[in-house]
Amino acid sequence: MSFALSLPPLYPAMHYWRGLLQPGWSPYGNTAKLVRREAASADSETLWLKPFRSLRDWQPGQHLTFGFEVDGRRFQRSFTLTSLPGEREIAITARRLPGGRFAQWMEAASHGERLQISEPWGGLSFDVPDASHRMLMAAGSGITAAMAQVRAAAARGQLAGMSLAYWVRERAEACFVDELRSLNARFPDFQFRLFLTGEAPEAAHEAAGRLHEDSLHALPGNAQGAEVLACGPSGFVARVEALFREAAARIATETFTPAILRAPVGPTDTVQLTLARSGRQIAIPTGTPLLAALEAAGLKPEHGCRQGLCGRCVCGKADGVHVDLRDGIEYVDASTSLKLCVSAARSDLTLDL
């Protein structure tokens, strides 16, 4: 009797041994190790993580997408980096949402637990150097995007001329308040106000009520000629845009709640989609999100949330007409920011894929 020893393929074997010798290394991208955690509010935590490989240059307000497992299933979620560029450890602040997948991961995670991490992407940033004022407006978890900008400005000693208005239901839900009040004391020209929608104000830095036209006088800054960055639920950022569109020099917004996608109006036709990089052409229905249509054709474009929030599926469009299924608006011009998961074709398209 004879037998032959079958060795594993070269690259999988190399990956296996390197993973043993360098815990945290992965052939599928970067990873980060949980090194400590801190309470941020009654229902939020700040997680400090040490990446296996240092992140490339990134800007305050950018996000990371995290891959993690819960009950043997893999999920992805995106969070804003609240630490400063150049630091060896990175930080995110996340709410423990009841039933949330990342909340389940946080509950079970211990020191040393690892997550897959993307490179930094997207993010809110100021872009008008001569604006009369810089206004940050945050509701709920949107405070993380605002806090990233505040910390970066404080590190540069440039908080003068900046204001932050922050809305929560109850003060126990608010993150970073002590830090913000301390910065307000160090930089008197930095203005901060916490708006409570479910409790009465008790301190000088607190005010009551939601954002609406009658409450503009209570804001810590004036929108006339200001650059405004806003992050929060979709209804909140829509109010910011409606209230300040005429007065502000620039408004940039992000939302973390998915919009309801609109069903196509009229009959569904078939159009031709050309993938510029490969030259491949496929027939797709006009009423189907482009991501789903590409997947149905056997392709696997990069994506994350599938809700138009994370930006992982953004690509360029060279020509053709597409519709944003969140608001029904059609776009006929070339674009560098088409989101595959919430866009559908209205004519033949050429995409940078």
Tens-digit pLDDT profile for residues 91-117 = 999 999 899 999 999 999 999 999 999
Residue 320 has pLDDT above 60, yes or no: yes
Residue keyed to tokens 């940050």: 136
> What mean pLDDT comes out for the span 182-192?
95
Dihedral of alpha carbons 295, 346, 258, 248, sign:
positive
Going by C-alpha positions, the residue among 166, 133, 169, 92 that lies closest to residue 244 is 133
Looking at residue 317, its pLDDT comes to 93
pLDDT above 90 covers a percentage of the chain that reads: 62
pLDDT at residue 5, rounded to an integer: 43
Name the residue type at position 252.
A
**% of the chain residues with pLDDT over 70:** 88
The residue to which tokens 């599938």 are assigned: 306
pTM higher than 0.75: no
169 closest CA partner among 196, 188, 192, 151:
196
The mean of the pLDDT values for the chain is: 88
With a cut of 50, say whether residue 197 has pLDDT above it: yes
* 8 A C-beta contact, residue 120 and residue 62: yes
Condensed to tens digits (0 to 9), the pLDDT of residues 262-314 reads 766 555 789 999 999 999 999 999 989 999 999 999 998 988 777 777 677 88
Region at 148 (left for phi over 0; alpha for psi -120 to 50; beta for the rest): alpha
Q: Is 21's pLDDT higher than 60? A: no
Give me the CATH topology for the region 134-255: Rossmann fold (3.40.50)
Q: What is the pLDDT of residue 201?
A: 96
Give the pLDDT of residue 3: 40
* Model confidence band, residue 23 (pLDDT cutoffs 50, 70, 90): low
Burial annotation 72-102 (CB, 10 A radius, 16+ → b, else e): eeeebbbbbbbbebeeeebbbbbbeeeebbb
Q: Under CATH, which architecture does the 270-351 domain have?
A: Roll (3.10)
CATH for 22-117 (2.70.150.10, 3.50.50.60, 2.40.30.10, 1.10.287.990): 2.40.30.10
**Boundaries of every domain in the chain:** 22-117, 134-255, 270-351
pLDDT tens-digit series, residues 257-276: 666 667 665 557 899 999 99
**Average pLDDT over every residue of 10-35:** 63
